[in-house]
Amino acid sequence: MRFPYLAVPAIAVASYVLVACGSFPKPDARVSSSEGAIRGAQEAGAQGVPQANLHLKLAQEERDKAMALMKDGENEKAEYLFMRAEADAELANSLAREEAAKKEAAQTAEQVDQLKKKAAGQ
């Protein structure tokens, strides 16, 4: 006689968990932030830096997979993929900016060397 009484609360809890899992909100904010991060990496010139380009492509693929998951109602998984896409895009952005800073530093060092040579020759 006790078994059916114990089964009812267990079934209720299981039903609640299933409903709660299926009602994860759409990660609209993550969609926007990941797309913004990808755009930022592109504007920073990530396509021209091999390592940055790799992370940029990974971010785009993750965003596309997340969009597909969102269409299928897998909002929680989609949110995590959007977060990964955003992180990869930010890494691509940083790598591209680092490369630009290295080039600028090299040019400045070259200019300093030229000025030193001019000053020594006078």
Pick the CATH number of 26-121 from 3.20.20, 1.20.1070, 1.20.1270, 1.10.287: 1.20.1270
Cα distance between residue 66 and residue 71, in whole Å: 9
**What angle, 0 to 180 degrees and rounded to 10, lies between the N-to-C axes of helices 28-43 and 75-121?**
20
Cα distance between residue 93 and residue 44, in whole Å: 6
Contact 67, 86 (CB under 8 A): no
Q: Could you tell me what percentage of the chain is helix, strand and coil, using 3-state DSSP and rounding each to the nearest 5?
A: 90, 0, 10
Q: What local confidence, expressed as pLDDT, does residue 121 receive?
A: 81
In one-letter notation, the amino acid at residue 60 is Q
Q: Where are the domains of the chain?
A: 26-121
> Per the confidence metrics, is the pTM higher than 0.85?
no
pLDDT tens digit sequence for 72-122:
999 999 999 999 999 999 999 999 999 999 999 999 999 999 999 988 887
Give the mean pLDDT of 2-28. 60
Q: How would you class 62 by CB atoms within 10 Å of its CB: exposed for 0-12, middle for 13-18, buried for 19 or more? A: buried
